[in-house]
Amino acid sequence: MAAGSVEPNLIHDAAGERLDLRMTETDTPKSARKPRWTPLEMGLFTVVSLFLFIIVILMVLFATQSNKTCTTADCTHSASRLIQNMDASVDPCDNFYQYACGGWLKKNVIPETSSRYGVYDILNSNLEVILKGVLEKKVDREAAALTKAKTLYNSCINEKLIEQKGGRPLFDMLPDIFDWPIAVDNWETVYGKTWRLEDVLARLNWKYETDVLVTFIIDNDDRDSTSHIIYVDQQASFGLLSTDYYTCKGDFAKACEVYEQFMFDLAKLIRTDRGLKFNEAEIKAEVKRVVDLEKDIFIATDPPEFRRDPVFLYNKIELRTLNRIFSFEIDSQRFNWSYFTAKIMDNVNIKVPESEKIINYSPRYYGKLKNVLAKYTKRDLQNYVVWRFLMKTIGTLSRAYRNTRNDFLKFLTGTTSEDAVWRRCALLVNAVLTKAVGRLYVQEAFSDNSKQLMEELIKDIREVFISNLNDLSWMDEKTKKAAEEKARTIRQRIGYSEDIMNDEYLNNEYKDLNFSAEEYFKNILRSMEYRAKKYLQKLREKVKNTWFVGAAVIDAFYSSNFNEIVFPAGILQPPYFSKGQPKSLNYGGIGMVIGHEITHGFDIKGRKFDKDGNLKDWWTPESTEKFLQFSRCIVDQYSNFSWDLANGLHLNGDNTLRENIADNGGIRLAYQAYKKFVERNGEEPLLPGIDLSHDQLFFLNFGQIWCESYRLEQAVNSINVDVHSPGMFRVLGSLQNFPEFAKAFTCKKSSNMVSENVCRVW
């Protein structure tokens, strides 16, 4: 029974007994009273008195305990969730992740549509249900931007019309990018003399939001956070995931076969639907060359370890220098950077002179690309660049086209079926019309009451970070002072931008974007062009301090260029956050996330940017050397973790270092901030039915936000490419480095959760 139902019975029984004794005493006639008690009577009286005294003490204890137990609906729900997700039979000092998540892992099965599944994914699924509701809701009068979002959604869920159109929408637009040689006859005759690599790459960039071979973007200048500048970078997106896959040998040989089969099946389908003949041997030969080309391009890219230092990446040169030093040839045609840039920027009426400053993020890559492309023809290049566009858009066509990639996705991720149509469509509309969908979500599901509490949490955790600087023996006073200044300057955004609640602002934001309920594929193309041009138009504009993320998002962010932390409305819900749940859970959930994002401002990348978001070295050499030394401890620690789900592969501590530093800093900051909250406000009432202190509940909620399961394929992918450690090791690694955890659970020094070599940076 809960404490609230036990207490009345105890009070009734004790009071009744005392009342009966008193009635017996006063009802006895005076003449019958004895002047003195016998020893036996005296003994009985003493025993009864002692018994009554004990009963009273117990009543007080039970009453006091009851007053210290929270029995609100929020507390009851929190306790129920925590109990269901944990496995109390596991020793928390042995494997805290299993202790926190064992119950969750037993009762949750990975859906066939997913390669991994966790608490985060459940929250996302719930958010998508909300989006479905608001996008399908009919309203008599609303902002035009909201109507556009619903029109795009309706065009997406109209499966019958999409099936009727088949591949025709794709066929109609392919000539705009010089078509796909594999899937059309006489390509050389039609396009051979007019084809130019700069033309097709430029059009894919400004009209179809697709970068192949060359990544060309407009973004904040790393060294001048008030201005925009052109960046050129290596190709960022590939069909396969890592160097291992592109070896096409051993366990990864199958990956290349399945990838080639995917391309072959799509080419065959397009030719068949176009009424063209199909020569299997010729198509397979072309497909093989395309995969070989992608493999060579991938090998030319800089691996992650070469891209961690923003100072190393920042190479500012003039456009004319880019032409002179970093050009390459295809079929004796020299790639002209000036022509390529003009082809892109002319579409937003911006002229770019030869003296324009460009930041080249990948000089090594472009140096290697010369030799790579010398091995291939313009037909090979055209096949490849259109293939990259097709991989991006194949999911918007009929089922026959989507089916061509099913075996590939199954092999790569382990998924065996697609998401429900409405779910895919809700996600797509949220990505395309972020602000409009954010407005709909906020109106439906977000309470502004959360903002004040979040501001208090951020204030507490920021102050702890600043206070902790004094305890860092490895950092000198000059660097500490600059770090404090940066920490105090970090801006915060909570929930959503107020602008999205203004009809005029929202309508103006999407005034150049229009959709038709009968033209889903064309709607996608329109949205690509709209978004691409919006970014390109920024080149001559000053940087505006605006939200860079939507409201209907379950995530949190730190921006080095803005020195800003962002917590969208979507993440401000249990288990991360709730106004009604105990503060221990809030600090262990969203508090840890706040600390994580603040720490990102001081990780291996964030520390290179100053308080104004400019790439600037504000560290002394001595503090830098110590920082790198303590960071290496974390690299080694996480690299020693092996993961059974990934066939025993070891984590890559170098690739995950930024996130691991942020996790370790986040848990420390949040816990210390919670302890200061308790000092100010006193201990919180306990949760019902769960025999844990609030210190322990803090760590339990932290552990449970990372409960998740992986398919084998995705576990391997995660180790190869993810910058985050798997959830299990985010929990184990950070808690092994935090002695306060062992203290909270009274762990012995020999316990697995107690590390002999504690790593700490912040």
**The Cα angle at residue 420 between residues 414 and 423, in degrees rounded to 5:** 105
Cβ atoms within 10 Å of 474's Cβ, excluding its own: 14
From the candidates 265, 460, 663, 684, which is the catalytic residue? 663
CB 457 within 8 A of CB 587: yes
Question: Beta-strand (E) ranges in 351-392?
Answer: 357-360
Tell me how far CA of residue 346 lies from CA of 278, 341, 349, 365, 511, in angstroms: 40, 8, 5, 27, 21
SS3 343: helix
From the candidates 380, 460, 597, 713, which is the catalytic residue? 597
Among candidate residues 567, 630, 631, 602, the one with its CA nearest the CA of residue 486: 602
682: left (phi over 0), alpha (psi -120 to 50) or beta: left
Catalytic site includes residue 209: no
Catalytic site includes residue 185: no
φ, ψ for residue 417, nearest 5 deg: -155, 165
For residue 142, what are its two tokens?
A: 């609303």
Burial of 398 (0-12, 13-18, 19+ CB in 10 A): buried
Among candidate residues 281, 240, 566, the one with its CA nearest the CA of residue 411: 240
Which strands, in side-by-side order, build the sheet including 224-234? 214-221, 224-234, 357-360, 316-318
Asked if the peptide bond before residue 575 counts as cis, ω within 30 degrees of 0, the response is yes
φ, ψ for residue 646, nearest 5 deg: -110, 35
Label the pairing between strands 642-643 and 116-118. Answer: unpaired
Label the pairing between strands 333-334 and 564-568. Answer: unpaired
Among candidate residues 542, 520, 499, 313, the one with its CA nearest the CA of residue 398: 520
Hey, which residues are catalytic here? 597, 663
